[in-house]
Structure 1
Amino acid sequence: MGYLMDRRPLKVRGATWAKKLAKMLSDLGLTPNAISILSVVFAFLVLFSAKEAHANKLFLILSAALIQLRLICNLLDGMVAVEHGKSKPNGELFNDVPDRFADAFIILGASFYVQKDLFFLTATNVAWIATCLAITTAYIRVLGKSLGTSSYFIGPMAKQHRMFLITVALILEYFLYGTAYAQKVIYFTLVLIAFGSLITIFRRLIIISNDLNKGELR
């Protein structure tokens, strides 16, 4: 039920591979909630794989792959719930709460690769700021929904935007490994996520506030 109420609009749901994979998971007996938990497992592994990239740059590619596996789980949990009729009354909790942990693990994990102090803030400090702001964007969306407005997934730094940027940054770092530019791409990506999330927070607040003032509730 929760998945029907709060689904991010994604064209990829219509892709043949996504439909086949969702059917396969459903036939195997996996529940949407279990798939949501699996997404957190993939995200948690980024904490270790990004750190290990100092010794072996292949872990950068592994980290990027883990992020994509997390996103695939985010796609499939809703598809199994809705298209295959396996939604649960507590589905909304498993649809949102695991995402917040996954965001934190991935953003912080990416910062573990950056050991250089490039500016007055370390990469880990920037990552903590970016994580807090990213989670706040989701909090505002859910708060607006609880007050009766639509669920706003707008960016510029919605979940898919954050994960795309970090994935690209990790791949770029693979090719920059051992050069003077190594680690800088990740650092500036974290800065961009922090600033972008701040803009997203204000955009969502303004739209939700306007909806409430106008009485434009669902």
Structure 2
Amino acid sequence: MDDNRRPIKTRSAGWAKHLTDLLVKRDISPNQISVASIAFALAGAVALNIDNGLVGSIICAVGIQLRLLCNLFDGMVAIEGGKKSDIGSLYNEFPDRIADSLLIIALGYAIGHADLGWFAALAAALTAYVRVFGGSIGLKQSFMGPMAKQHRMAVMTGALVLNALETSLYGTHYSLLIALIVIAAGSAATCVTRTLAISRQLKGNAHVDQ
């Protein structure tokens, strides 16, 4: 198993393996699936900013889940399906950063806190930068939280479901604001925890070499 691959339990599920086989048989490339994740994220982001109430929240939540499914299947088609490409590593990272930014920034604009949305998106991107930096210097990439990608999307999805109810009952968006604050603060904290993990690995390797 690739040590630099995000651990996802769903890969072992029967339905995931079945859908992976279908995608491979239809000759759909993992890079195409990665690009599709951007389209789903964009659809969700646009929907939320057109309507930050019931309908927009539901569409955005669905867009997030479809984006995450793309993130699951691009890797499974590439590795388990044997369809890795020479530029697959680019498609594995760049669409993720774009999709994350689209959704988080859109969340900020949808509730009138664009500055916080941009900060949260930057912090989220930096979590990936720290992880990949560790890999670039020969260390095992750390996918630890407290606010890794799956956590950010889970928080946002949960908030969107709550927002659909909140706006219908009260016309407010406190669920989305709290989620954005949690994503921003949690992503910043994740940058710290991953940086400390890199530091520990470097010190451990130094002791081994002595």
Q: TM-score, normalised by structure 1?
A: 0.90
Q: Is the 8 A contact 1:46 1:110 kept in 2?
A: no
Unaligned runs of 5+ in 1: 116-122
**In the alignment, which of 101, 113, 122 is matched to residue 104 of structure 1?**
101
Letter in 2 for 1:8: R
1:12-161 equivalence runs, <5 A? 12-54=10-52, 57-115=54-112, 123-161=113-151
Q: Provide, for residues 158-206 of structure 1, a one-character-per-residue CA deviation record: whole Å limited to 9, x for no partner.
A: 0000000000000100011144462111111111111111111111001
Distance in 2 (CA, whole Å) between partners of 1:26 and 1:111 is 37
Letter in 2 for 1:86: K
Distance in 1 (CA, whole Å) between partners of 2:28 and 2:86 is 16
Distance in 1 (CA, whole Å) between partners of 2:109 and 2:48 is 6
Distance in 2 (CA, whole Å) between partners of 1:58 and 1:180 is 15
Q: Is the 8 A contact 2:3 2:140 kept in 1?
A: no
Q: Which residue of 2 is the match for residue 119 of structure 1? A: none
Distance in 1 (CA, whole Å) between partners of 2:144 and 2:110 is 29
Q: Is the 8 A contact 1:156 1:199 kept in 2?
A: yes
Q: Provide, for residues 36-64 of structure 1, a one-character-per-residue CA deviation record: whole Å limited to 9, x for no partner.
A: 0110111111221001224x622211100
CA RMSD of aligned residues (A): 1.7
Length, aligned pairs only: 207
Q: Provide, for residues 7-53 of structure 1, a one-character-per-residue CA deviation record: whole Å limited to 9, x for no partner.
A: 11011111111111111111111111110011011111122100122
Q: Which shifted more, 173-182 or 31-40?
A: 173-182
Identity of aligned residues (%): 39
Distance in 2 (CA, whole Å) between partners of 1:38 and 1:187 is 28
Q: Which residue of 2 is the match for residue 206 of structure 1? A: 196
Q: Which shifted more, 90-99 or 208-217?
A: 208-217
Letter in 2 for 1:62: I
Q: Is the 8 A contact 2:20 2:76 kept in 1?
A: yes
Unaligned runs of 5+ in 2: none
